[in-house]
A and B are shown apart, each in its own frame.
Chain A
């Protein structure tokens, strides 16, 4: 098990370097530097400015310099916000993004799992059709469509909830409810479908028949014997789910004007703030790789068969 983790970590490092290098080369190979949009400036000043950001060096030296800084946790200065480091900008947005992401994932797993169980236990009965119908509908409700629609319906028409904005220091639930639900909807749908399928399979196994034969009450059969087995596919889906939530958070944070990493990234991409875009890509890529690894380890801990195979 430990050897497996070490091996995965060793693969993760070259992957990260590959991601960084590719992102770096794409960003730097492009015409239209970050200073092009500004007023015409004297050539000497422009040269000084470029030297400040290492833009005058050959590409491979720039990359090495960037990797060196990165190893020390320095993501470089932002190219648009003159007085801030990229690391500072990301750190400012992190709490918002983190809370929204964790809340959306928790909601998705709990509600999706519950709906899946309800559907599976009543297979081919009305509750099953209802949940699966809703799930099929939910897959088609991406944050992109639901964000503005929820904002319009609950925020502007009904005025039940604030439609946008968030103070950095005070995270009121009323402000977070719409973004979190928007972000969680498609994941709830996917997880409930997964859960239903694996629960149906688990309930058919011999172990369940044995548990019933022993005379256990039905809720114990479900809770103690079927659920731990049926939950495994959900664990292995956690990695992709996290990646989906992260991508969705870009839209949600922009729509609801939340001060998170996602909305900063979108602004950065539009303003060609190279260092900021790179910084967010690296942080998110690293996070996704790490969380994938964590999900795999969790899977190994929960499933003795996977442990033995490894």
Chain B
């Protein structure tokens, strides 16, 4: 040990009691040492900020004006499908209807991220509760619940999302988006429930659960207050890596015409519109495809970084 570190250790001792480091402190330290993950985190924060405040946020009763000069739905009849230019602030050009591409892109990113986060949250809620209950109570309940998960696993769920979206036609774009949240969330929870169940079985025998039971906590309280928080590590990793999957699933639906509807838009829908017009107006494809790639990469790199940080035994 070098002299410098000895003195710094002594200095630390002199300043007071040594603080314990929790799993999360360790994880944060490891994450911040991973340049790709830190960069992704920054990039995601930037993207989220742009998506949220780039165009008007309309809550019905009040609206927060976006910082981008053009409106999402504003149609410039005299400037249809113009290439990216500095004139009139059409930095990314306009689409075939004469709407500003930057505004469309920011709005599409907002919807895509929203779908990713909300549908993942739906999947997490179902998956975590399902897995925790099955793992905690065990016995026949566990058997029944997990056999059901096995059964669902063997079903190619992409088809069911498509069936659901085909079968429930709605002309209201907002209803459609709610439907997308539910349809995707309802099929993405299976893996989550397996992970959480495994964790729960490992946790069930631990002393702190026994202590909680001795203190008179009800089974539901033990599951929600003691078991679920301790399964959070894998859950966070899974959630991060699930968001890009959901964004892609929504894009896929939009691509085949079953997803988000006009006047709303998403990255997937912008890509499919761009693909239809790419020969004449290639920028309509390049921007959304590039932004989609950037978003997916940032989420995947961050997920990988989180896995390394929270699950060090894999290294």
Name A's B-contacting residues (CB within 8 A): 11-12, 15, 18-19, 22-23, 26-27, 29-32, 136-137, 139-142, 144-145, 147-149, 151-152, 156-157, 243, 246-247, 250-251, 254-255, 265-266, 269-270, 272, 277, 280-281, 284-285, 288-289, 292
Contact = CB atoms under 8 A, between A and B. Distances in A.
A61 B135 CA distance: 40
Task: Identify the 6 closest CB pairs spanning chains A and B, nearest first.
Answer: A148-B275, A140-B296, A30-B167, A266-B256, A281-B159, A247-B158
Nearest to A288: B156
A148 B151 contact: no
Given A140-B293, A269-B162, A147 B275 contact: yes
B: contact size bracket: 35 or more
23 contacts: A11-B154, A15-B151, A18-B151, A27-B163, A30-B167, A137-B297, A140-B293, A140-B296, A142-B251, A144-B251, A144-B252, A145-B289, A147-B275, A148-B275, A148-B278, A156-B279, A243-B158, A250-B256, A251-B252, A269-B256, A269-B257, A269-B258, A288-B154
B300 interface: yes
Nearest to A270: B257
Contacts of B275: 147-148, 151, 255
B257 A145 contact: no
A156 B278 contact: yes
A269 B285 contact: no
B244 A140 contact: yes
Contacts of B41: none
Contact of B154 (A141, A144, A289): A289
B168 A30 contact: yes
Nearest to B304: A136
B278 A151 contact: yes
A149 B256 contact: no
Interface string B130-168: 000000000000000000000100111011101111111
A136 B293 contact: no
Given A250-B256, A285-B159, A292-B154, A145 B282 contact: no
Nearest to B147: A11
Contact of A144 (B164, B268, B300, B301): B268
Interface in B234-266: 244, 248, 251-252, 255-258
Contact of B248 (A12, A18, A144, A265): A144
